[in-house]
């Protein structure tokens, strides 16, 4: 099993508008925390999630969250 790349040891705090988003699960995307296709050829796939109303969210960038794509604070233990 491949290891993920830790993109950052802090969440990406963003205001997202309603829509479907694709969270980078491999950590290699140049468009963190969103997928840009860098996972192609690996065992990783992006995590799709939907925002139904404009919301402030904290998206995981360490890729270790137990609640992806959302930050659960795991980055403080790395």
Res 63: pLDDT: 97
Rounded to two decimals, what is the model's pTM?
0.92
Res 68: pLDDT: 97
**pLDDT-flagged residues of the chain (< 70):** 1
Q: Are 66 and 52 in contact (CB under 8 A)?
A: no
Res 22: pLDDT: 98
Residue 39 to residue 35: CA distance in whole angstroms: 8
Res 1: pLDDT: 62
- Alpha-carbon separation of residue 50 from 11, 15, 37, 40, 41 (angstroms): 18, 13, 19, 22, 25
């Amino acid at each position: 099993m491949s290891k993920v790349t830790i993109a950052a040891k802090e969440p990406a705090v963003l205001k997202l508008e309603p829509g479907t988003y694709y969270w980078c699960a491999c950590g290699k995307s140049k468009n963190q925390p969103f997928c840009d296709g860098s996972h192609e050829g690996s065992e990783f796939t992006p995590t799709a999630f939907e925002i139904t109303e404009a919301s402030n969210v904290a998206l995981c960038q360490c890729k270790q969250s137990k609640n992806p794509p959302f930050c659960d604070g795991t980055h403080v233990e790395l």
